[in-house]
Amino acid sequence: MTTFNVGYLIGSLSKDSINRKLATALTRLAPEHLTFTEIPIRDLPLYNYDYDGDFPPVAKAFKEAIAAVDAVLFVTPEYNRSIPGALKNAIDWASRPYGKNSFTRKPSAVIGTSPGAIGTAVGQQHLRSVLGFCNSPQMNAPEAYIQFKPGLITDEGEVTNESTAEFLKTYMSEFHQFIVRVYTALPKDA
């Protein structure tokens, strides 16, 4: 079976982010046919189209990192019922200039955690809209809105609630199967 390299973006810039803990847990619970590379967004300057002719080195490296992976996993909090500005900025860098969008035909999935009862549901819907415009095939089911409670995930990525751990394991298995389906329908070489 083919192994796919998944790049993951963490929407929060905080080093103590609960979404960073979730990302660590997801990489631990994923099937063996998925490998993971974090693609950091912290050092990207604010995007503006004046850069389209000559991206700064950090933005070139970021765009190349997105292009190099087989799929992208977005692990993000919700800020003010939307996505964090840093994540939107990163997406803008990777999708520009026009005609050189690194997300085109690249399978993606969205997940996030928040202390709130609806997890990151509204922010995820905004992100899905942006990814749809970027022509990124999205895993739409299962949806995953994780309510974070203290101790749910350790710093090492261990999920302490058995039903949550099983759900996340299933989510990652579904993501693997989705990637396979996308590349069956849209071969990379085509």
pLDDT band at 107 (very low <50, low <70, confident <90, very high): very high
Q: pLDDT tens for residues 155-176?
A: 999 999 999 999 999 999 999 9
pLDDT band at 190 (very low <50, low <70, confident <90, very high): low
| Residue 189, pLDDT above cutoff 90 | no
pTM of the predicted protein model = 0.96
Average pLDDT, integer, range 55-72 = 97
Contacts within 8 Å (CB) and 24+ apart, 45-49 = 46/89, 47/89, 47/92, 47/93, 47/96, 49/96, 49/97
CATH code for the part of the protein at 4-185:
3.40.50.360
| Residue 110, pLDDT above cutoff 90 | yes
Domain ranges of the chain: 4-185
